[in-house]
Structure 1
């Protein structure tokens, strides 16, 4: 796990010093690329390589399309009620309230990582 520390942090006992620090990916010296981020065991990465890696990951994400959550398609409240009808007798209002709450919970989990400005409020069904 990278420490995220700059090589100029003054860590003693490290095998790589300021004089010979270089990016472990492109092999450029810190003098050529600027500050390096230090990882474990004298591993460094420069800003140029970080940018390149980020663009590769972004390109791959766009190629794959939107990320699907672990649930696949979220069942509608109506589908959830039909499923509950197989197990619960009566309690129509409770089944509907529970179905909407479960549907919203799945939607909240699916959109947790997105930067959407729309937030789905939690509901207390007890």
Structure 2
């Protein structure tokens, strides 16, 4: 692929006797991708008209699970903050457990689409409950845990009378 083209251009050894282990080979591949140039994209088969429209060519590393969790919770317009605010407008407290957040992040990493997967995955989980909450005044709290993210259980709903009795 593209990494082999770049390795050839920069003079990194690609194969032969004493070839590197899989871990070293993966590290070399990632290192090579960081040196991508427009001529590498042309050699890879992209048309010059497309490559010419790219003002900057750079490589990005894949996000880790920890970074995905931070995107869900810590960014300015974090999705968890948005859903929490939406639920609070209905007088309902929303909570996602740390295990749920890690499970979402792990699934997104597995999909390989980066942070874009997070929104669709979270929306899939929240769709039914977002529909139910406005029509039910008895809901005090909704909790999303790992089992909910994995599709094994429904979100945990605590009713208002349950909350006052506890």
TM-score (norm 2): 0.23
More helix by share: 2
Indicate the structure (1 or 2) with the bigger Cα radius of gyration: 1
